[in-house]
Structure 1
Amino acid sequence: MAADVREIACDESGYEGQAIVNSPTTVFAHGSVHISPEAAVDCMAELRARIRSPATEYKANHLLRDKHRDVLLWLLGPGGPVHGRAYVQLVDKPRFLVRVLLDQLIDAPEREATLPVTDEPRWRRFLAAANALLRTREPLDPTAADAVFWSIDDLRRGGLPPAADETLALLAKSRARADEIHERARTDPPAFAPVDLLAPAIVNAVAHWGPVRIVHDFQSTLTPTRVAWLRAAAPDLVSLTLVDSNDDPRVQVADIIAGTVRVIASRTDPELTALAAAYV
């Protein structure tokens, strides 16, 4: 069995812990690469030779500059060093938050209900309140449940498409469950926070690659309790080692792949979108 275990390196882009909305990014990306340390050293050396930046640490933003487009095309292209050896999970954070809220507050037979996600101020207030309600670590907002249900009433007064109004009507009946979730976060926080993006992304990476040993950029949210949850959720996770990205070129490559694909996903650029699609 040991011969079948791969070692992959992982990093993320657009991760702000449990802050899903009102954060700098709207898309989260988790990148994983299956390359040798020697191949990663060569990849980073080639990036430095092509970009010629004096920066100590190379990041995705170096490749996303217009003047380095050819370098990005080389990195992601079929002849590049990571083609067929990298995988990226992308998550639209506001839509993820809506799905989690529905899963937490609405019974299973009714969870197919959906809500629109827009930048309209009332919806933004609703999303911010939902994010506060579903947090499991400080700072916890004692008024979060009140804010969620006030936002629901406010949205329903403004006139909505029937499907959205029906979903909000279901949510409006879930106050007792919302209070229970918020009280549990205060008194007995679970090992896995429902609005955490990183832990399920690691589970997804394990599912993609099969039995793996993971070398991951250090994240304070990956506590021993959270790692124990990961092992239970992903039995094919053989080991998880947290490192400083500066000490492992494979993690640096994973970081660049995650960051470039995340930004490409938010742009209208057919050439780059086609290349990035091979990794998602």
Structure 2
Amino acid sequence: MQPVELVCDESGYEGEKLIGTTTDVFAHAGVHLSAAVAAGCLAELRRRIRSPATQYKANHLQREKHRSALVWFLGPSSPLFRAAHVYLIDKAYFLIGTLAEVLLGPPGGTGTGWWQSGPDGGRAREVSDELYRRHAADGPEPAFLVAANNLMRGKDRRDLAGPVDAFFDVAGGSDGFRRDSAEALRVRLQADPSLSVLDPLIPALLRAVARWGDGGRPVTIVHDRQTMLPAERVARLQRALRHAGLVLTRVELAAAESEPRVQLADILAGTVRQIAQDELHGRGDAELLALARPYVDPLSIWGDRRSWATITGTARS
């Protein structure tokens, strides 16, 4: 079978730093269009917006004076309609679910599977729902989430004990988190520079291949230039996908300024991320939510039930 060529970009990405960032939502868009169709779509946006900017971004469409262009861009007459998807990650929920998977089991858990098990699967998801309700609304940088983020980040891999001590000082022992599992994770992060349990690009790329490579069809990903996709991390992704019967042939990096499909993926990720994040914070726009809904991946990682029901038109069980 000929590989599906999927062109991707993200919005709201700050690597493994999930708490205390400028965005609460990560979005990863995949676009399956020819370069010629993508160039035509960008030309139409330029005709409608008439900005002298050399490269359009999501914020051009998000201005109220360009709302009609955004409505067209997401609407059924757009070339993107039914030819693109957006995978959303509620950063706090992703962090908490990974924490539950890594620290509730014996040493060796890597936090790379709880979000694939479906909305009802696994003890980690059950615990993460409860922890999310307790901690995600504590403010922009609740101490528990900051400590959990620092524990599982690979930023200071040489510091084995500090992040563990800091986390358990905040968390205590009421949730059954295992200190030996936390210590084992820090050892693994130190030993393997390519290991990441918190990078949202990992579940996003896994899901992109699963969605577009259904039935075993190979997928080639063309991605905006990204330092977090070195060869060893791509190889790890390929092995995980092969284990699931899926094929990622390769990941190519492309410059947005010379690849119109990357520009479209960037704009789509940014606009849908902002629409979803506004709804997460209770200030959603009904018209834009309805337009974004066909693009949102139903297997996105999302903890807030109220906003998820509105974003997708369905309830998360």
TM-score (norm 1): 0.88
Counterpart AA for 2:150: A
Tell me if 1:257 matches 2:268: yes
Q: CA deviation at 1:189?
A: 2.3
How far apart, in 1, do the equivalents of 2:169 and 2:50 lie? 54
Q: CA deviation at 1:110?
A: 4.2
Which residue of 1 is the match for residue 152 of structure 2? 134
SS at match of 1:220: coil
Q: Is the Cα contact below 8 Å between 2:24 and 2:277 reproduced in 1?
A: no
Which residue of 1 is the match for residue 237 of structure 2? 230
SS at match of 2:54: coil
Q: Which deviations, in whole Å up to 9, do the C-alpha atoms of 1:166-221 show, x marking residues without a partner?
A: xx4312xx1121112113222x0263301011022111000011121111001101
Among candidates 182, 185, 190, match of residue 189 of structure 2: 185
Q: 5 Å matches for 1:1-280?
A: 1-2=1-2, 5-107=3-105, 110-111=123-124, 112-113=126-127, 114-115=130-131, 116=133, 117-120=135-138, 124-138=142-156, 142-153=161-172, 168-171=174-177, 174-186=178-190, 188-189=191-192, 191-210=194-213, 211-235=218-242, 236-267=247-278, 268-280=284-296
How far apart, in 2, do the equivalents of 1:84 and 1:191 lie? 35
How far apart, in 1, do the equivalents of 2:30 and 2:140 lie? 37
Q: CA deviation at 1:122?
A: 10
Q: Is the Cα contact below 8 Å between 2:20 and 2:141 reproduced in 1?
A: no
Aligned CA distance change for structure 1 residues 274 and 120 (closer, same or farther; 3 Å): same
Which residue of 1 is the match for residue 304 of structure 2? none
Aligned CA distance change for structure 1 residues 133 and 57 (closer, same or farther; 3 Å): same
Task: Calculate percent identity across the aligned residue pairs.
Answer: 45
* Greater relative CO (CA pairs within 8 A, separation 6+): 1
Which runs of 5 or more residues in structure 2 are unaligned?
107-121, 279-283, 297-317
Q: CA deviation at 1:72?
A: 0.5
SS at match of 1:46: helix
Larger Rg: 1
RMSD across aligned C-alpha pairs, in angstroms?
1.9
Aligned CA distance change for structure 1 residues 68 and 7 (closer, same or farther; 3 Å): same
How far apart, in 2, do the equivalents of 1:38 and 1:244 lie? 16
Aligned CA distance change for structure 1 residues 146 and 103 (closer, same or farther; 3 Å): same
Q: Is the Cα contact below 8 Å between 1:137 and 1:185 reproduced in 2?
A: no
SS at match of 1:239: strand
For this pair of structures, how many residues does the alignment match?
A: 262
Q: CA deviation at 1:88?
A: 0.3
Q: Which deviations, in whole Å up to 9, do the C-alpha atoms of 1:119-140 show, x marking residues without a partner?
A: 4259711111111110123476
Q: Is the Cα contact below 8 Å between 1:14 and 1:27 reproduced in 2?
A: yes
Counterpart AA for 1:126: F
Deviates more, 1:116-125 or 1:5-14: 116-125
Q: Which deviations, in whole Å up to 9, do the C-alpha atoms of 1:243-277 show, x marking residues without a partner?
A: 11111100100010010000011221111101101
Q: CA deviation at 1:38?
A: 0.2
How far apart, in 2, do the equivalents of 1:45 and 1:125 lie? 47
How far apart, in 2, do the equivalents of 1:60 and 1:266 lie? 14
Q: Is the Cα contact below 8 Å between 1:136 and 1:189 reproduced in 2?
A: no
